[in-house]
Structure 1
């Protein structure tokens, strides 16, 4: 039995925000960086496919790989980029924020990326 069946992540590209919901209740909201205009974060409905602790380098302290190959939610070694359009399409978060999100979601958690 999945203990977190109502959890979902909504990523809002235009406001550069990640929202974590449990049912209709907003549990957390975090700033993020999204893809540059030349490499935009793709809109759509996905899911958390993989979870990796300490992937290192540009991915910071956590990686939440999406069901869309080569894309994920991750920490960063460039915290000044948070709140901007800076990535190759992935969603960047402050390391302490992605660590908190990582602990609250599991594989299969829906991820909705909207404008």
Structure 2
């Protein structure tokens, strides 16, 4: 598997703990949308999704900003048949955007657990 290009996502997630300003959130959302992220594929090659516990039928796509977070995510699932690939946030959002059950992306769900919701696309430049 190829590795992703280094981005500023991890640093922005760390900053978000101390500063949740709209400017920082918009910068983070831009980074998620434009940069490569790791994704998990099921054993039949489909993108893994996480079903919302709050709204039945709604789902999120888990994405990972670095290899360490990907490994933590795959370890927490505990399924050796899973594989990983690379996609940008833009690519993933374009696949599912017309699906009314798609709620957005969850970045580093095992660690930082930042949610990039479909509604956040309005703030993308």
Looking at CA atoms only, which structure, 1 or 2, has the larger radius of gyration? 2
Fold match by TM threshold 0.5:
no
- Report the TM-score when normalising by structure 2: 0.30
- Which of 1 and 2 has higher RCO (CA within 8 Å, sep 6+)? 1
